Amino acid sequence: MRYAAITERLSTLGGAKWEVHLRARALAAAGVPILSLSIGEPDMPPPAELLDRARLSMAAGRYSYSNGRGEPALLAALAARYSRRAGHEVTPRQIICLPGTQTALYATLMALVGPGDEVLIGDPMYATYEGVVAAAGAVVVPVPLRPEHGFAMQADDLAARITPRSRVVLLNSPHNPTGAILTRAEVRAIGAVARAHDLWILSDEVYEELVFDDAPFASPLDEADLAERSIAVSSISKSHAAPGFRSGWCVGSEAFINRLLPVAETMLFGNQPFIADMTELAVSGPSAVARVMAARFAGRAQMIHQMLDGTPLRVHQPAAGMFTVVDVRATGLTGVEFANRLLDEERVAVMPGESFGAVLAGWLRVSLTRPDEEIAEACRRIAAFAARVMGERS
């Protein structure tokens, strides 16, 4: 039997990156106690008022078909939110609602690139980015995010990798897995490169409200001279601790959204009205839980740094998000080797840096979404394992 080419393009971009995580889940299901720091899922429930709004909306019959763009009240709330942030008008005609950031990324790239086109993405990158690019037949061109620059993309590194096939630069700020945040100057410098080469800028901003220490957030969509070529995607998954509701959106120019609409309507026809009502309430003001989560994650990142940095591991301190990254190269192990042995010998699950790109080879990604006591115990085990490995080497 024959299959479409997309199945071949995606065949190596799924579960293989999550092998350690999946092994850990299998061990846990078999009754083995595992300290799981491999994925990032909010460690608190959504605000009660959002759940109440969804329940009331269902009780009121808000479970019928929607439309391809999204419920009018949600579109208006999102337009007001982005207008406030950008300092210039963003209209409902510039927005489309989709089930989560992942769907928004998929639909956007299907609308922007095709076979042989190139999408420039910072390396390290979130593990699903390669898949959404490959699904459209395009090719990922990694742009190194260097530790010495705090893992922030540099305009010169971007410019050096542009070819005649370049079409899109995909930004992720705040960044998964490193927690780096692009400054406004860095966004403008990247934007200048995009203008010079007529590139789209696709900005994944799902961690916008999980910034530590009130660090300023910068988006290309908010820059007047970049707005026409910029597209922002986000959702309530992280900011409102509501990943299972799958409620996200895409913001761009009206011309782009008009092009995107048939793509979205082919995938699905609108999101659920009762979830749209919940999301309308969520985006109408600051999240009631984001600042609490951000404070927790910042504290846990600091704890990991205090317990592991110089053991001989090195710990990068994130500025936002749900993760920190740990450099284990001094042990002589790759990230994959370290993560697998750590799971087998210490029953701690983390993600190897290699799952996120070449720059993080020899690193680990550690989730900040578990309770403090679990993270502290995991750090003790990681330090003990690293010391044991160093002893083996000597």
Domains plus CATH for the chain?
5-45+289-393 (3.90.1150.10), 48-283 (3.40.640.10)
The whole-chain average pLDDT of the chain stands at 95
d(CA 376, CA 95): 42
In the predicted structure, residue 109 carries a pLDDT above the cut 80: yes
pLDDT in tens, 31-82: 999 999 998 888 899 999 999 999 999 999 999 999 999 999 999 999 999 9
- Residue 251: closest CA among 49, 91, 47: 91
In the predicted structure, residue 15 carries a pLDDT above the cut 70: no
* pLDDT at residue 18, rounded to an integer: 87
Cβ–Cβ < 8 Å for 123, 357: yes
| Average pLDDT value for residue range 129-143 | 96
d(CA 30, CA 57): 40
Q: How confident is the model at residue 114 (pLDDT cuts 50, 70, 90)?
A: very high
In the predicted structure, residue 348 carries a pLDDT above the cut 90: yes
Locate 28 and state its tokens.
């846990």
Q: How confident is the model at residue 101 (pLDDT cuts 50, 70, 90)?
A: very high
In the predicted structure, residue 14 carries a pLDDT above the cut 70: no
Enter the pTM of the model: 0.95
- Residue 323: closest CA among 378, 366, 355: 366
pLDDT in tens, 301-324: 999 999 999 999 999 999 999 999
The distance between the two most distant Cα atoms of the chain, rounded to a whole number of Å, is: 69
- % of the chain at pLDDT higher than 70: 99
pLDDT in tens, 223-282: 999 999 999 999 999 999 999 999 999 999 999 999 999 999 998 887 899 999 999 999
* pLDDT at residue 17, rounded to an integer: 80
The full length of the chain comes to 394
d(CA 94, CA 105): 16
Locate 105 and state its tokens.
């990324």
pLDDT in tens, 269-290: 878 999 999 999 999 999 989 9
In the predicted structure, residue 389 carries a pLDDT above the cut 70: yes
| Average pLDDT value for residue range 197-226 | 95
